[in-house]
Chains A and B, each alone.
Chain A
C-alpha cells in the first residue's frame, strides 16, 4: 500500500490555484490576512509559574513555553487581566500593560506559545495566544470588571464541574461554564488525572415535536418535525430544512442527512447494487451496474442493508454479515408500534432513552396515520478530561454525556493521544435496576472507572461450522448469542460452507467472560428445527471453542423428514392446464374454467364448454365472463345447479345441483396434478405443509419448479376454492370441476351429434 501513499503524495493543488485562492480569500475575509496580524509578544512560564512578558518584534520573537497548556491558558488570562491569582498552583504576575517574556526552565513536553496583541477594550482585556507550529491563534476576552472575594476558596475543576452539573436551571451562568471549560486547553495530553470539565453538548440542547406519517398503501416513510434550537429559531418542514443548523463541522449537511435521509442499500457479494435514499419526500435511487446476483433455484438473493438516519440498525453486529431476501419488508413500513419505536428512537438519536419520547396523539385520515411525539433532551452535560490508563498503558480520555432528566448515561468516548477514538453505548445502570433515580456525580465517576476496567474494543471471532457431508435440502442457520439472535444464514445443498464472524463486544459478553453462542438449524421445507451446536466465545482471548459435538444426526433427521414428505406426492398425470377440466358428465359435456387473477385484477382467461350442438370453447378477456350473445343454448354450472342460457337469459333447471361439486378430497390430488401438468417428473411437486385456518378451510402448500402454490379447500366439502402462487401472487379461482375424474380426457370437447 506504499504505492497509494506515493500516488497521493503527488496529488495536490497547484501553486497557481493556491495563489488564486489566497487572493480570493483575502479579498473576502481581509481580517484573516497576514497584514492584519498585530504585534506579538512572548510569554514563558518559569518553574514557579510566574509569567513575564516583554515586547517582541512583529516578526515573531521569543517564545513562551509552558509545561502544561492548561496553565498557560489560565496564566495568560489572569496575567493580562491585572496580575492576579486565578488558581492556587498557577499564580501569575503581570507588571504592566507592556508585554514581556522571561525564559525559564521547561520540560520536554513543553508547548510553544506566542502571545500577541495585548490590549484593553473597555472593561475587557483581549489576548491572543498563538500556538507555535500551528496555523491557529486564539483570542481570549477577559472581563476586567469582575471581582472575586479572596476569602472564597478556589474550587477544583472537578468541584466546579459538579457545581455546573448539579444545576438544572436554564439560566445557569454560561460564563462559569466557560471558565471551567476553558481554564484548561482541551488537549488531552496536557491534562492531569482528575481534571474534569463539563459542558453542555449543543447537539442535544433542543426539543422536537414530530409527526410521523405512515402511508398505508406505500412503502415510503416520511417524517415531519418542528425543531427548536439553542438559538431560539424554529425549524420545520417535511422536505428541506428552512435554515441550516449551527451544528457540527458542516451543519447543513449533517442536519440534512440526520433528519431527512432514510436509506436502503442492496448489496450483493459485498458490492453495492442499488441504494434508495429518501430526503423528505424526495426519493433518490442509485444503481450500480455489473454486480452479479446470487441465484439459487431461480430465486435471487440480495444483501439488503437498511439505514435509518444514516445509522445501520445492526451496526453492533457487523452489518455486512447480515443478508436478507429482497422481499424483506422495509423498516419504514411497520404494522405494529413496537418496530416503529425503533425508528422513532433512531430519528431522535435515542439509543438509550426511550422515556424521552412521548406519544401525544394519533390521527387517522383516509390514507395515512399520523402519530405525534414530543421529545426533549435539553440537559445533556458532557464530561471531558477524565483520564485513565488502560491495560496497554495508554492514557485514555473519557468523554461522558449524561442525561440529567432521565438519569441515563448516553455515551462514552475514549481518546488516546488524540488519535484513538471509540464510542461505546453503555447499558444504563439506573434503568436496568428499574430506578429512575439520577446518579449523583460520584456515582457517575465510579461508573466511568468501572467501565474503564472492562474497556475493550470491537473485535471479531470467526469460526467455521462443520456440516454433514451428505446433507441435502435448504436450511436456515441462526446464530444466537445468549438468547439474542445475532446472525442468520441460509444454506442449501449447493453450498458447503457455513461460518460466522461475530463481535466479541456485546452486552452479553463481559470482559474476561465467555458467552455461549448457539447455532440452530431450521429445515425451510418442513419448518423443523434442531439445535446444531454450541460455541463458547471468550472475549479476552477472542476465541470460539466448540462445546460438545455437532448434532449431525439431529440435522439429518429433519432432513430425512423432508425427503419422506416429498415422496408422498409423486403422481404423474398428463394434460395441460387449459384442457384438463373438460370432460363428460352423464353423456353431456361439462365445462370448467378458472378465473385467473393477478394482484387482485382479473387478467386472464377462462374456458367454457357447453353441451348440445352448440358447443364452443370460448376465450374471454378480463372481466368478460358473460356468455356471448348467440341463439345457441348453453348450460352452465355453479354452486346452485345447472343453468341454461337462452337468448340472453339464464334459467335454472329445477332440482338441479352443481354436478361438479365433490365431497371428498381425493380428487384434489388429480386436480393438482392437472394443474401442475407434471407428466415427467413427479418430484417436481413437493408437498410442504398443510394447515387449517380460521374460516374452516384447509390450505395445502406445494412447491413446484421452485414456485410455491397454496391450495385452499373448503373443509367440509373438500372443494377447491382457489390456488395462489405465493411467489408471483397470481391467484386462480376454480369455478367448477368434474365430479367424474375418470371421465376426464385431455382433448378438446366434442360436438354433440
Chain B
C-alpha cells in the first residue's frame, strides 16, 4: 500500500493573498510603527517595507496561525522602526511635530491622550500601544520587542504613571 510522507519542511509552502494580507494587517503594522515613530510618512514606509519583506520570504516562514502571523509582522515593524531611529538620517533630522492628527479625526479628548503619549519615550509608546490596543500580554510584548519581560513591565508601569500624571493635568485644564 502506498503511504505518503511530506518530503521536508522546506517544501511545505503557505499561499498568501496580497489583498487579504494588506486589508487585514496593514493598519496594525501602521499603528505599531506610528506608535513607535510618531511620524505618518515613516510609518507608511515601514508598512510597505514590512509587507515587501514578508512576501519575499513568506514561503520559508513557519507560521501557523493568524496570531502568529500578526505577531511576526508587528515584530518586524518594531524592528524596522528601531532601525529608523538608530539611523543617522533620523538622528540628524529631528522629527517634526505630527501635523496629521486632523487626518485621523481625533476629538479633543483623544488629542489630549495623543499629546500625553507624545511626551513618552518611543519605546514606552510602543509598549502602551501593544498592551492597551493590541491586548498583548507583557510576555508577548517582550517577545515582540525583544526585551526582557521585566523591562516591559517596568516600562509599562512607568508609562502608566506618567500618563496618569499627564492626563490628570489635562483633566484639570479642561475642567478649568
Contact = CB atoms under 8 A, between A and B. Distances in A.
Task: Decide whether A and B assemble into one complex.
Answer: yes
Interface of A: 1, 3-8, 10-14, 17-18, 21-22, 24-26, 28-29, 32-34, 37, 77-78, 80-82, 84-86, 124-125, 128, 130, 134-144, 146-148, 150, 174-179, 181-182, 185-187, 199, 246, 249-250, 253-254, 257, 270-272, 284, 288, 310-312, 315-316, 318-320, 418-423, 458
B106 A28 contact: no
A175 B8 contact: yes
Nearest to B113: A3
Given A34-B17, A140-B12, A174-B9, A320 B69 contact: no
8 contacts: A4-B128, A13-B30, A18-B23, A32-B15, A32-B58, A125-B4, A253-B83, A271-B158
B19 to A, nearest CB: 6
Given A136-B63, A421-B137, A28 B4 contact: no
A140 B11 CA distance: 8
B9 A3 contact: no
A135 B69 contact: yes
A3 B109 CA distance: 8
B5 A312 contact: no
A185 B5 contact: no
Contacts of B147: 310
Nearest to A202: B62
Interface size band for B: 35 or more
Given A81-B4, A135-B21, A138-B12, A8 B31 contact: yes
B65 interface: yes
A25 B22 contact: yes
Query: When A and B form their complex, which 10 residue pairs have the shortest distance between CB atoms, in order from nearest?
Result: A148-B3, A81-B4, A137-B15, A12-B27, A320-B154, A135-B20, A253-B79, A186-B64, A315-B148, A139-B13
B132 A284 contact: no
B14 interface: yes
Nearest to A319: B150
A3 B20 CA distance: 29
Contacts of B17: 32-34, 37, 135, 137
A21 B114 contact: no
A10 B148 CA distance: 30
Contacts of B146: 254, 257, 310
B95 interface: no
Contacts of B22: 18, 21-22, 25
A141 B15 CA distance: 13
Contacts of A250: 53, 75-76, 79-80
A561 B5 CA distance: 80
A312 B151 contact: yes
A182 B4 contact: no
Contacts of A8: 31, 35, 129, 133
Nearest to A69: B64
B165 interface: no
A421 B143 contact: yes
Contact of A25 (B3, B18, B140): B18
Contact of B150 (A17, A141, A174, A318): A318
Contacts of A177: 9
A135 to B, nearest CB: 4
Contacts of A270: 154, 158
Given A3-B109, A33-B18, A246-B60, A175 B5 contact: yes
B67 to A, nearest CB: 6
B18 A22 contact: yes
> Chain B binding site: helix, strand, loop or mixed by DSSP?
helix
Given A32-B55, A78-B3, A137-B17, 13 more contacts: A1-B132, A7-B113, A32-B21, A81-B2, A135-B25, A141-B12, A142-B6, A179-B6, A246-B60, A249-B72, A249-B75, A253-B76, A310-B146
> Chain A binding site: helix, strand, loop or mixed by DSSP?
mixed
A136 B66 contact: yes
Contacts of B72: 249
Given A13-B26, A288-B121, A421-B143, A24 B48 contact: yes
Contacts of A186: 64-65
A602 B102 CA distance: 64
A175 to B, nearest CB: 5
Contacts of B6: 77, 140-143, 175, 178-179, 182
A572 B1 CA distance: 106
B37 interface: no
A141 B11 contact: yes
B7 A175 contact: yes
B127 to A, nearest CB: 12
Contact of B13 (A17, A78, A141): A141
Given A3-B109, A319-B148, A29 B55 contact: yes
Contact of B110 (A7, A125, A142): A7
A142 B4 contact: yes
Nearest to A10: B104
A423 B44 CA distance: 34
A663 B86 CA distance: 64
Contacts of B153: 318
A29 B133 CA distance: 31
A21 B121 contact: no
Given A7-B110, A7-B114, A249-B76, A84 B2 contact: yes
Interface string B51-88: 11101101011011111010110011001101100100
A137 B150 contact: no
Given A7-B113, A8-B35, A319 B154 contact: yes
A415 B31 CA distance: 26
B114 to A, nearest CB: 6
Nearest to A19: B22
Contacts of A37: 15, 17
Nearest to A133: B66
Contacts of A32: 15-18, 21, 55, 58
Interface in B90-145: 103-106, 109-110, 112-114, 117, 121, 128-129, 132-133, 137, 139-140, 143
A125 B6 CA distance: 10
A148 B151 contact: no
A13 B51 CA distance: 13
Contacts of B67: 418-419
